[in-house]
């Protein structure tokens, strides 16, 4: 059983733009949590981890091997290590914090949670807002909550992790080629349908790579060439961030393999079939 761990492929609205596997590519193997959320509903790391725990338990009960595939590190980390039990944020506090310009929010965080502010970039609006709303709503800094992680299954299952790190130039060329193929393969229609729904621009589905660029083309503020180039660049930048995350975040003991295509590699086959 293959379980999706990609934060874009969870949305039913993004079949083409997220490169969700087709029925032909699935080859009859059960695939779970692909297209499982409607775009109007944000799928948080906690939401995904809860669903993934259920799918993993179901696979074990059926005598199947659950294989998690995807590059959303926060999803995997939440599943394995657990999540901080932060209480629901007071809506008034959230609204006040989210209304602040990022420089004012960062200055406030520096006063109210200086340790957290010290490790964040001053322009990291999402993490700054989250940290500030937590300390204001709960009276405790985010780090205090993160020290009380709950729900992780990392110690309860046997892990056989594998990090694939293909040649960067090879991957960037594939990113460019794939985005161009998406453009002509149905992604524009997906974005047009998203825009027609009038969804909140802050929803994760609306912030998926390629949505803003295609929306700009559809709205007439970018030419086709400009939008494709911008989407390709955004994809490459995300790949770069993934390289950085995979270099520093997973345990050093997790094996890294540099392969263009790992499907016939003996090491991968041994990893999966031992």
Phi, psi dihedrals of residue 43, rounded to the nearest 5°: -100, 105
Q: Whole-angstrom Cα distance, residue 13 to residue 33?
A: 13
Mean pLDDT computed over every residue of the chain? 91
Q: What is the pLDDT of residues 47-101, one digit of tens each?
A: 999 999 999 999 999 999 999 999 898 899 999 999 888 899 999 999 999 999 9
Q: What is the pLDDT of residue 175?
A: 95
Q: Predicted confidence band at 11 (pLDDT cuts at 50, 70, 90)?
A: very high
In this predicted structure, the answer to whether residue 271 has a pLDDT above a threshold of 60 is no
Poorest-pLDDT segment among 122-126, 147-151, 173-177, 207-211: 147-151
Q: What is the pLDDT of residue 257?
A: 82
| Consecutive H or E run containing 245 | helix 224-248
| Consecutive H or E run containing 32 | strand 31-32
C-beta separation of 43 from 16 below 8 A? no
C-beta separation of 7 from 48 below 8 A? yes
Burial label, 10 (beta-carbon count in 10 A; 0-12, 13-18, 19+) = buried
Q: Predicted confidence band at 249 (pLDDT cuts at 50, 70, 90)?
A: confident
Domain borders along the chain are: 2-83+153-273, 91-148
What is the maximum span of the chain, computed from C-alpha positions, in angstroms? 56
In this predicted structure, the answer to whether residue 15 has a pLDDT above a threshold of 80 is yes
In this predicted structure, the answer to whether residue 159 has a pLDDT above a threshold of 80 is yes
Domain 2-83+153-273 has CATH 3.40.50.300: yes
Q: What is the pLDDT of residue 248?
A: 84
Cβ atoms within 10 A of the Cβ of 179, count? 25
DSSP state at residue 203: S
Q: Which residues contact 72 (CB under 8 A, 6 or more apart)?
A: 5, 6, 7, 45
Question: Residue 184 in 3-state DSSP?
Answer: helix
Q: Whole-angstrom Cα distance, residue 190 to residue 13?
A: 7
The residues with which 179 forms a beta bridge, in sequence order, are: none
In this predicted structure, the answer to whether residue 125 has a pLDDT above a threshold of 70 is yes
Q: What is the pLDDT of residue 83?
A: 87
Domain 91-148 has CATH 1.10.1500.10: no
User: Residue 132 has which token pair?
Assistant: 């500030």
Q: Predicted confidence band at 259 (pLDDT cuts at 50, 70, 90)?
A: low
CA neighbor of 11 nearest in space, from 168, 215, 212, 208: 208
Q: What is the pLDDT of residue 252?
A: 87
Question: Residue 231 in 3-state DSSP?
Answer: helix
Question: Residue 146 in 3-state DSSP?
Answer: helix
Q: Do domains 2-83+153-273 and 91-148 have the same CATH topology?
A: no
């Amino acid at each position: 059983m293959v379980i999706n761990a990609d934060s874009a492929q969870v949305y039913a609205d993004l079949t083409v733009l997220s490169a969700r596997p087709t029925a032909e590519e699935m080859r009859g193997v059960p695939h779970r949590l692909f297209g499982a959320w409607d775009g109007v509903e944000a799928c948080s790391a906690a939401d995904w981890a809860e669903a993934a725990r259920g799918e993993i338990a179901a696979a074990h009960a059926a005598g199947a091997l659950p294989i998690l595939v995807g590059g959303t590190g926060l999803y995997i980390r939440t599943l394995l290590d657990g999540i901080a039990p932060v209480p629901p944020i007071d809506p008034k506090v959230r609204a006040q914090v989210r209304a602040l310009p990022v420089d004012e929010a960062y200055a406030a965080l520096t006063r109210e949670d200086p340790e957290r502010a010290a490790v964040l970039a001053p322009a990291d609006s999402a993490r700054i807002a989250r940290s500030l709303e937590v300390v204001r709503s709960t009276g405790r800094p985010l780090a205090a909550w993160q020290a009380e992680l709950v729900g992780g299954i990392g110690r309860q299952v046997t892990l056989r992790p594998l990090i694939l790190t293909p040649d960067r130039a090879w991957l960037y060329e594939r990113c460019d080629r794939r985005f161009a193929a998406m453009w002509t393969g149905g992604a524009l229609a997906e974005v047009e349908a998203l825009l027609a729904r009038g969804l909140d621009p802050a929803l994760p589905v609306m912030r998926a790579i390629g949505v803003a660029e295609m929306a700009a083309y559809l709205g007439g503020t970018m030419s086709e060439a400009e939008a494709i180039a911008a989407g390709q660049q955004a994809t490459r930048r995300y790949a770069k961030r993934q390289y950085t995350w995979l270099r520093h975040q997973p345990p050093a003991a997790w094996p890294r393999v540099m392969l263009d295509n790992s499907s016939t590699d003996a090491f991968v086959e041994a990893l999966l079939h031992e």
